[in-house]
Structure 1
Amino acid sequence: MPRKPKTKAAPVKKSALRTAKRELDAQSMRELEERIAALDPATIEQFDELPLSKQTAQGLKQSHFTRLTDIQKASIPVALRGRDILGAAKTGSGKTLAFLVPLLEALYRANWTPYDGLGALVISPTRELAIQIFEVLRKIGRAHSFSAGLVIGGKDVQVERERISRLNILICTPGRLLQHMDQAAGFETGNLKMLVLDEADRILDMGFRSTLDAIVEHLPRERQTMLFSATQTKSVSDLARLSLKEPEYIAVHEAATTSTPANLQQYYVVTPLPEKLNALFGFLKTHLKAKIIVFLSSSKQVRFVFETFKTLHPGIPLMHLHGKQKQTARIEITERFSSMKMACLFATDIAARGIDFPAVDWVVQVDCPEDVDTYIHRVGRTARFDKAGRALLMLAPSEEAGMAQRFEARRVPVDKITIKEAKKKSIQAQLQALCFRSPEVKYLGQKAFISYVKSVYLQKDKEVFDVSAVPAEEYAASLGLPGAPRIKFLSGQRAKALKNAPRATADDSGSESEAGEAAKPAVRTKYDRMFERKNQTVLSEHYANLVRDKPLGDDGSDSDGEFMAVKRADHGIGGSDDEAAAGEPTSKRQAKIALSKKLSLRNKPNPTKLVFDDDGNPHQLYEFEDEAAFAAQGPAAAQKAAFVAKEGEMIASADVEDKAVAKEKRKEKRRRRLERERADASDDDDDAGVELAPYDGPDADDGSASDASAGPAGPARSPSPEPKRKWFQQDAPRKRARRDVVEVEEPATLADLEALSMKLLGN
């Protein structure tokens, strides 16, 4: 059969393919919108049942997220419809996915491209939580083409500034975001579609209020806003500041009997403040195979407890995390603790919110939290995602009643327990030894003491936190300190109370005399004087400043930056006596003079030098004997004669040694001069046949050198040089003829030049 001729298919234009693809995408987008509108949250249990894009569903599946939690089931359908949300759920319930999934879907449905600028903004209160959110976003958004970035403190600002204008999704902390808004030229937020605040109650409090207000001013009002936290705010003023429009409040655990996870066992123990470190050390010794987080109120306390316990070796790996560390160290410690199965992490409240440390067995709170919300966030580091966990809170006797009432009001079940006497272990003696041996540890202890008392003083809830109930001396002794450092505001309070005591009880008979007797200082014992001794180290003056009355700064913080400073005029430095008595502040010039080296040397005693005898006993360089010891050595005349004879012998022996040394020096000088003369003579022999200019200088040979070196006729005699002449008496120095110089007459003709050249070539 004859073959049919092949017919070529008509080529398809690229524009037609693009048009078909756009129509297909538009059709799928319409179907997605219809599914979202018809969504019934009550019937959804899995992520694959949600109306999500293929890219988001693929990222969730590859990251092994399959089942929805309660907060995700309630908030994701509402967020997909574009509503503003106030989400509140217990810690560890999966709030991160509850806002990341709607975030990706909102940008996908808006056909957002990498060239459209910033579309979604997630703000976190801490750097560690921001890093964790960014890692989850990388997992579930791997199939999307959006560009995402992490902007937190502790990183290179210049690198972030160059790349921040090309980001579609930004996860950040408030301070660094505001810095880029003010400084980055190409950073625009006018097209923002979604704003998310994680741990919103922490961001909306007084610590971030001004920063957040400045950020919101840069953002457009037409946007979707979502706030998530374990303890959500309902303040109308806060919602108005963020421009929320009819937000939907979603609290999936509001009807629950407890505000904390049901699988969390919570205990508290009443422990006096001086016994807390002993109880903590005993707890660690009995839980060596557990993963523990220990919360303290300040970074100075965290560092002191870490440094001392590291030396005492409780038997479990120790780490510490606080806000004064560099960002690289904080990230490294977080990753190490997350990967370990048995460890103890001393931390401040920067680790209390949102951070997911896997498999934490115990959360121990040595210092009382400022409120119940802080307690809930702290214990939320354990018992996450339906896992079991336990929490222990140490309360001082003055804090028990107030905290028990607040726990009951917030439906937080905490059971009271007691510590067995066999489990208690006192470490006060070891801490005292550490502070005695190491000035650095003592300094850390003093700063830890001051920071704890200051944290109690600054708390708002005065029913729970009473600074007057703090046993200062006992607490300082439990830290290993010889005495309690004085704090300015406490001294002012005591002075004010003492001043007003007679006035308040003026109606009572004899009250003024009793108050006057009470105002008298107690008798100082030898132990008091011993503890008041200064450390003889470089930092002794700094330690003294910690013990003295030290004023606080304008912001309520102690002036750590001033190593030495003159605070008042009553130091006796400059100024009049009236000013010194009134305590007027000194000028900068007077303070500079007071700290000068000249004035400090004037007030110091004369330097002393010690010598040691054969037995190693120290003595002054010049010390006098008593009269009895002097008389026992014999009559004064005999002692004088013996002393003169002894000193004469020493002088004679020293004179002999000095003369021998001088004689050797003269011999060495003569030997060097003879060597120079022989060298000159050998140069003269080599220059034989060359006419030299006469020389009559002081070093001219007079035949003595040749006589000294002539044969066996007699011993060699050294020449007797003439006295050296002055510079104006010397003749012109002789000039040595150069061997490579030939003296000729100046050529006059061409023949003379040829003869001269032949002579030079012949040579």
Structure 2
Amino acid sequence: MAAPGITGRTRPTKVKKQAAQLKRKRDDVDVDALEQAVAALDPATGAFSDFSQLPLSGPTKQGLRHGHFAAMTAIQRKAVPLALKGHDLLGAAKTGSGKTLAFIVPVLENLYRLQHVGADAGLGALILAPTRELAIQIFHVLCKIGRHGHMFAAGLLIGGKSLDAERHALARMNILVATPGRMLQHLSQTAAFSVDDLKMLVLDEADRILDMGFQRDVDAIIDYLPKERQTLLFSATQSKKVSDLARLSLHDPAYVSVHAEDKSATPTSLQQNYLICPVQDKLDTLWSFIQASKKSKILCFFSSAKVVRFVYESFRHMQPGIPLLHIHGRQKQGARLDTTAKFSAAKNSCLFATDVAARGLDFPAVDFVIQVDCPDDVDTYIHRVGRTARYNREGRGVLFLTPSEEEGMLQRLEAKKVPVEAINVRQKKRQSIKDQLQNMCFQDPALKYLGQKAFMTYVKSVYLQKDKEVFKLKEYDLEAYAASLGLPGTPRIKFLQGDESKQKKQASRQTIEVSESDEEEETPREAKPVRTKYDRMFERRNQDVLADHYKKLVRDGDDHVPTPANDFTGESTANGADDDFLAVKRRIPADDEDEDFGGDASVAPRGRVIHVAGVSQPLIIDSNRREKLLLSKKKLTKLMDKGKRIVYDDEGNPHELYELQDEADFKAKGLPEVQRQKFIEAAREVVQSADVEDKAAAKAKRKEKLRKRKERERGDGAVEEDAGVELEETGENPLANFLADAQITDDEEEEQEEKAKQKKEKKWFQSDSEDDERSSKKQKRKANQHVVQEPETLEDMEALAAGLLG
């Protein structure tokens, strides 16, 4: 028997494995005590100010201590005890109040007490976030708290990563942080992924996840989850709709709101202002603000990704003296992560972003949040401005409002307890960048195209807004806004011109017919020409920055070309053309190479006229280049008239190869069907007569061939004496010919021809040398064979026996 403490291992046990074994044993002992402490916990009467006062496990306390989390915030004091007891929660608190820690601690503790650890346990907790950046941030906080002793396997499911790598790891995950889209993709496509044993579901930024953008995905995910579970909802603006709560199958949820009675829905350390800025002055105001705040950390929000890209590219070329960054939903995941990391680590920087960075992201020490484009609603405003003044720090938010947006937006902010104060811009410090933007768009067509897209997406975002009392598109000066972006003209917006067509499409046929009949009675309708896509392509304007200049310099068709008299006298043309300082006297078209010699017959020639043999039209030589091209045989060959192929009849008269008959002569012969029948009968008679002649000639040829063969068999001049028939002078025997004809029939002739065919012909791969070799081998084989003759006498028999023995 081995001594105590001695094992059969040849290598010493690692310290980490010993610690893990002791930890598992300690966990088994501590579970009962934790269950009793949580059961005795009274969230209603207990006043908790520190995490150490809660019945938490050792690994969680150690993780909180290493993360420097000691005192609890208001939302954490009310939400964590209820979540530890297993209640469903609706948590609402201001931005930057510590909501993330309020659900991560209950998730770790509840799974710890249930011993939901290991690959065989399956998925125990699911945390959903609306954006990838927020999901990554939650996952980092989860790892920061849980890596000091907890043995849970946690994973992150977001778009932009390898789907196969996530599939292999899903089977052993205990806690998942995911976005709704990628989570639903794995639930529907990954066969080994099971959520039947899920214990907790957490929705961060629940109001955003439950709205129309994620409604289908969330409903599909909930159908996969078990009904018996604990659900936690947290957001800065919580939803209390009965329909939303019914969708999530909440059981007697507890509503926790720590700032419901406050005078403001935003942090008190946040200073909020707004300024009235027309849409065409937004970029000038933003540039002036950045120039005055180069040593600050600024976050600017826009309505669309195209606007973010255009502002970033244009401001980057003008070098404002502060690092510029941009983030939007159309970027790849790696670029978005790099941008958030750079902005978090920077001391002085300016980040242009869409609403993808408006929720949940914790950027440290943000000084200003500038909302250049008006938010969709007050909730979006609260989340945007919440990126600053976090954790009782100071911050400032500035909202740009157009004159048409001022009244409606201020009423909605006041109704949600959001205090804002009006400020003005100092005109002395304001700088205009319209000329610089126009110059950059002139030099860079790509930037101009990006500006056109930014204009269209901004107008579309305003057009699609639900709150029409705030967003009144008809009151925006779109032409001035396009000019402020540096564009030479206002891009065409299709959906703005389609209001009447949309009304006609939705109207009934009767109303359309009545309206059309009324219009016909009032004014006669003119037929509209059909316009193809090529017509629209050539009529398109703003194709480049020189579109207007090009139209003045180049005139096509019947447009009036200014004459010298008009240029000097300053008289206007009949078409209403403007009197320009520079006018074109003559325009020489750049013709193709094939048109170098010829021209329009209707235009009077301006040079020498040369007639070339073989060319029907004369050649106009009006330049030295065309005169040199006369020396090219290749060019002259292309201009030559194409010849006609002719044939000659029996009389020697030339005719074209395919010549049509005169129509009058053809009709005089009768109807086409009658002529066709006559032609068929004549052709049939010719064929029949030719067939009879061919058969007779073939029979005569066959008989002559048989006669010659019989003569060769009988021998030349051999005649029997007993026949008593005298030969004629021609040397033929009539009796012999008669007998041969009588005895040999056509059948015998065919048999002879078949025998001749049966003779083997040489194959394609055989040669004469092979036949010679084969014949020589046969002769040698015959020579080597012993010819045995029958013995006649006794001597012959003895000779034969001696040959065989010897």
Q: Retained in 1: the 8 A contact 2:95–2:267?
A: yes
1:212 alignment counterpart: 218
1:410 alignment counterpart: 416
CA deviations over 1:287-314 (Å, ceiling 9, x no partner): 0000000000000000000000001111
Q: Retained in 1: the 8 A contact 2:489–2:542?
A: no
Deviation at 1:424, TM superposition (A): 1.0
Matches for 1:234-245 after TM superposition, within 5 Å: 234-245=240-251
2:403 alignment counterpart: 397
Q: Retained in 1: the 8 A contact 2:462–2:471?
A: yes
Q: 1:439 aligns with which of 434, 445, 450?
A: 445
1:91 equivalenced with 2:100 (yes/no): no
**How far apart are the structure 1 equivalents of 2:339 and 2:595?**
51
Provide closer, same or farther for how the CA distance between residues 9 and 265 of structure 1 changes in structure 2, counting only shifts above 3 A: closer
1:36 equivalenced with 2:42 (yes/no): no
Q: 2:325 aligns with which of 309, 316, 319?
A: 319
Q: 2:592 aligns with which of 602, 607, 610?
A: 607
TM-score, reference length from structure 1: 0.64
What amino acid is aligned across from residue 84 of structure 2 in structure 1? L
CA deviations over 1:544-568 (Å, ceiling 9, x no partner): 9xxxxxxxxxxxxxxxxxxxxxxxx
Deviation at 1:111, TM superposition (A): 1.1
What amino acid is aligned across from residue 471 of structure 1 in structure 2? D
TM-score, reference length from structure 2: 0.61
Matches for 1:239-638 after TM superposition, within 5 Å: 239-493=245-499, 532=541, 534-535=543-544, 606-607=591-592
1:112 equivalenced with 2:119 (yes/no): no
**How far apart are the structure 1 equivalents of 2:595 and 2:435?**
36
Provide closer, same or farther for how the CA distance between residues 21 and 170 of structure 1 changes in structure 2, counting only shifts above 3 A: closer
Larger Rg: 2
Provide closer, same or farther for how the CA distance between residues 236 and 286 of structure 1 changes in structure 2, counting only shifts above 3 A: same
**How far apart are the structure 2 equivalents of 1:455 and 1:66?**
45
Give SS of 2:105's match: helix
Identity among equivalent positions (%) equals 55
Provide closer, same or farther for how the CA distance between residues 9 and 389 of structure 1 changes in structure 2, counting only shifts above 3 A: closer
CA deviations over 1:707-755 (Å, ceiling 9, x no partner): xxxxxxxxxxxxxxxxxxxxxxxxxxxxxxxxxxxxxxxxxxxxxxxxx
Provide closer, same or farther for how the CA distance between residues 439 and 189 of structure 1 changes in structure 2, counting only shifts above 3 A: same
Q: Retained in 2: the 8 A contact 1:89–1:230?
A: yes
Give SS of 1:331's match: helix
Provide closer, same or farther for how the CA distance between residues 320 and 608 of structure 1 changes in structure 2, counting only shifts above 3 A: farther
CA deviations over 1:258-316 (Å, ceiling 9, x no partner): 00000000000000000000000000000000000000000000000000000111111
Q: Retained in 1: the 8 A contact 2:488–2:545?
A: no
CA deviations over 1:492-545 (Å, ceiling 9, x no partner): 237789999xx9xx9xxxxx99xxxxxxxxxxxxxxx999453289xx9xxx9x
Provide closer, same or farther for how the CA distance between residues 530 and 474 of structure 1 changes in structure 2, counting only shifts above 3 A: farther
1:123 alignment counterpart: 128
Q: State which drifts further: 30-39 or 163-172.
A: 30-39
Give SS of 1:421's match: coil
Deviation at 1:24, TM superposition (A): 6.9
**How far apart are the structure 2 equivalents of 1:474 and 1:325?**
30
Give SS of 1:422's match: coil
Q: Retained in 1: the 8 A contact 2:285–2:431?
A: yes
**How far apart are the structure 2 equivalents of 1:396 and 1:147?**
51
**How far apart are the structure 1 equivalents of 2:103 and 2:270?**
26
1:54 equivalenced with 2:58 (yes/no): yes
1:758 alignment counterpart: none
2:155 alignment counterpart: 149
**How far apart are the structure 2 equivalents of 1:466 and 1:301?**
20
Deviation at 1:34, TM superposition (A): 2.5
Deviation at 1:38, TM superposition (A): 2.9
Q: 1:198 aligns with which of 197, 204, 211?
A: 204
What amino acid is aligned across from residue 607 of structure 1 in structure 2? D
**How far apart are the structure 2 equivalents of 1:490 and 1:10?**
85
Q: Retained in 1: the 8 A contact 2:123–2:197?
A: yes
User: Moved runs in structure 1, 4+ residues, more than 6 A?
Assistant: 8-12, 18-24, 494-500, 608-611, 623-627
Deviation at 1:484, TM superposition (A): 1.1
Alignment coverage as a number of residue pairs:
523
Deviation at 1:138, TM superposition (A): 0.5
Deviation at 1:626, TM superposition (A): 7.7
Provide closer, same or farther for how the CA distance between residues 243 and 427 of structure 1 changes in structure 2, counting only shifts above 3 A: same
**How far apart are the structure 1 equivalents of 2:23 and 2:299?**
54
What amino acid is aligned across from residue 319 of structure 1 in structure 2? L
1:100 alignment counterpart: 104
Provide closer, same or farther for how the CA distance between residues 80 and 486 of structure 1 changes in structure 2, counting only shifts above 3 A: same
CA deviations over 1:380-402 (Å, ceiling 9, x no partner): 00000010000000000000000
Q: Retained in 2: the 8 A contact 1:482–1:531?
A: no
Deviation at 1:198, TM superposition (A): 0.4
2:693 alignment counterpart: none
Provide closer, same or farther for how the CA distance between residues 376 and 9 of structure 1 changes in structure 2, counting only shifts above 3 A: closer
**How far apart are the structure 1 equivalents of 2:487 and 2:216?**
40
**How far apart are the structure 2 equivalents of 1:450 and 1:20?**
65
What amino acid is aligned across from residue 414 of structure 1 in structure 2? V
Give SS of 1:399's match: helix
Deviation at 1:37, TM superposition (A): 2.8
Deviation at 1:605, TM superposition (A): 7.8
Q: 2:178 aligns with which of 172, 178, 182?
A: 172
**How far apart are the structure 2 equivalents of 1:21 and 1:353?**
38
What amino acid is aligned across from residue 463 of structure 1 in structure 2? E
1:685 alignment counterpart: none
Provide closer, same or farther for how the CA distance between residues 28 and 370 of structure 1 changes in structure 2, counting only shifts above 3 A: same
Q: 1:72 aligns with which of 61, 70, 76?
A: 76
Provide closer, same or farther for how the CA distance between residues 28 and 449 of structure 1 changes in structure 2, counting only shifts above 3 A: same
1:139 equivalenced with 2:141 (yes/no): no
Give SS of 2:491's match: coil
**How far apart are the structure 2 equivalents of 1:187 and 1:429?**
58
Deviation at 1:410, TM superposition (A): 0.5
**How far apart are the structure 2 equivalents of 1:266 and 1:256?**
16
Provide closer, same or farther for how the CA distance between residues 375 and 179 of structure 1 changes in structure 2, counting only shifts above 3 A: same
Give SS of 2:249's match: coil
Give SS of 1:258's match: coil
Deviation at 1:49, TM superposition (A): 1.3
Deviation at 1:211, TM superposition (A): 0.6
Deviation at 1:153, TM superposition (A): 0.1
Any stretches of 5+ residues in structure 1 without a counterpart? 1-7, 13-17, 507-511, 514-528, 545-603, 612-622, 628-639, 652-763
Q: Retained in 1: the 8 A contact 2:488–2:542?
A: no
Q: Retained in 2: the 8 A contact 1:428–1:479?
A: yes
Provide closer, same or farther for how the CA distance between residues 446 and 51 of structure 1 changes in structure 2, counting only shifts above 3 A: same
CA deviations over 1:8-63 (Å, ceiling 9, x no partner): 99999xxxxx9999997565323222322333554211111111011111111111
Give SS of 2:468's match: coil
What amino acid is aligned across from residue 489 of structure 1 in structure 2? F
What amino acid is aligned across from residue 107 of structure 1 in structure 2? L
Q: Retained in 1: the 8 A contact 2:122–2:173?
A: yes
Q: Retained in 2: the 8 A contact 1:90–1:230?
A: yes
**How far apart are the structure 1 equivalents of 2:353 and 2:300?**
6
CA deviations over 1:460-515 (Å, ceiling 9, x no partner): 10100111112111111111111111111211237789999xx9xx9xxxxx99xx
**How far apart are the structure 2 equivalents of 1:146 and 1:365?**
41
